[in-house]
Chains A and B, each alone.
Chain A
Amino acid sequence: MTVLALASLAVFDVLLSGTRAAAGRDGRIAKPPYYRAAGWRALWAGLVVVAGNAALVAILVATAVDPAAAWAAMERAGARCVEVFGAFATVTLLAILFWFAPVRELRIVPTLVVLGPLTLIRPLVVVGGLLYAVAGSASWRVWLAGVAAGASMIGIEHVLGRRYRRRWQRLL
């Protein structure tokens, strides 16, 4: 259950990161196809991120002297991650629901809440959540998995943004 929750949260986060990476780089008015493509790209990237981190954890667990204990430590850290990132994702999702509000002005709420403050604090939440998760463990394997997860979550927007970085040149 913890693994599934973590994977879902990671894919959701990469999906939003990919959309952010594409935003502000295409000047057309009608952009749904552009954002759909960015979304699909981000979804695949999210699956790759999850698979990569899962593979690392699998290797770390498999190479441990006591794989069962190593897995238990990983699961404990994962459960703490779910607490923090789950809460953050819930707030994000609740705000995003306002995009479907019947009153037009209320549709600005996701912009005001998610795209501004929550985007600003996201790196802190990622680092803080992972520190909280690994702080209770003395195993370097758990810490290494935490560092890898943090690097991939924070770095993915930059990686996905590379595709769009030079789009502006078409306009000059």
Chain B
Amino acid sequence: MDPRAARYELSDLVVDYDPDTLERRDVRLDTVLANLPSPASARRVARSLAAGSGVLDRARVDAVLVRSHLELQRLHEEFRVGALMRDLVAPMVGLARQRAGGRPIRVVDLGCGIGFVVRWLAARGGLGGDVELIGADCNRALIAAAQRLAAEEELDCRFVAANAFALREPADVILSIGVLHHFRGDELAAVFTQHERSAAAGFVHVDIRPTAIAPIGSWIFHRARMREPLARFDGVRSVVRAHRAETLCRAIGAGAPGFALGLIDARPGVAGLLRIFQAAVGVRGVDRDALAQAYGGFGRRFERA
């Protein structure tokens, strides 16, 4: 196992949920510090979140997470993630429509945070009037923030504090950005096992593409732009933890063998300087040719996997 994989991000450590009920559990500072031997700056952040009892203060944690997600949204805006997601999700919605029989298509953002992608898609459109947009996240504070922001702009989307795979009305298309690298080893395959068990017709998962220069690029950006120490630390570490395309393919093959799989921007060459993300797209119920055809607009950026 890659030793880097064992390294945590702060946001992985400062919150904990019951996997069945999603009820929040207390997190002890010493547990965080035990999993975070270095650097000192990250340990300082963890200490700043602790109450006198040695348990992390949930209100402080939520405040830091909301501020960090606002900064992350800015980064996504600057890298034009909204338009990228629209371009990636629209073909998948088209494929899902083929087997939906005229009913609305439900697109669910897994680990949506403050819901930037869902709100961007609701605000800017491009997926069709028959698409229902839902953001799902375990953190109730982030979901509340997403709902407030959506309400402020009267956007046609909603947010739920729930497991994206266990919604009362299941997803047709599951999407995510910057989420997959939080799952390591068997956990990654387990995420795709949940896809396999769900009723979803397809998925679009986007994450940073790991390259030799990505960590230094990420360090520059997070150092220059991020104000929250947690966001600075997690931003750089998330690039280090990003999965290679081969790792993603193996996990998807093991967990969700029923899906035809494609990759976008996994090997962009020099254009990778401008394209820092890669995407894994999967669909079931149609053959691989249909997937390739749906993503034909991406040209050579798309490859079958």
Q: List residues of A whose CB falls within 8 A of some B CB.
A: 20, 23-30, 104-109, 111-112, 115-117, 119-120, 168, 170-172
Contact = CB atoms under 8 A, between A and B. Distances in A.
A23 B155 contact: no
A109 B152 contact: no
Q: Give 3 nearest A-B pairs by CB, closest first.
A: A24-B74, A171-B145, A120-B224
Nearest to B74: A24
Interface stretch (B12-20, B75-83, B96-104, B204-212): B75-83
Contacts of B66: 168, 171-172
A106 B271 CA distance: 10
Contacts of A112: 273-274
A29 B155 CA distance: 10
B223 to A, nearest CB: 6
30 contacts: A20-B225, A23-B225, A24-B70, A24-B73, A24-B226, A24-B227, A25-B70, A27-B69, A27-B70, A27-B73, A27-B114, A29-B119, A29-B120, A29-B123, A29-B124, A105-B271, A105-B274, A107-B80, A111-B78, A111-B79, A112-B274, A116-B221, A116-B225, A119-B224, A168-B66, A171-B144, A171-B145, A171-B149, A172-B63, A172-B66
Interface string B195-222: 0000000000000000000000100110
B274 A108 contact: yes
B250 interface: no
Interface residues of B, number: 41
A170 B148 contact: yes
Contacts of B79: 108, 111
A100 B210 CA distance: 29
Contacts of B227: 24
B155 A168 contact: no
A121 to B, nearest CB: 9
Contact of A119 (B141, B225, B273): B225
A172 B149 contact: no
Given A116-B224, A117-B220, A168-B67, A27 B145 contact: yes
B221 A105 contact: no
B80 A108 contact: yes
Interface in B216-275: 217, 220-221, 223-227, 271, 273-275
Contact of B83 (A30, A104, A115, A168): A104
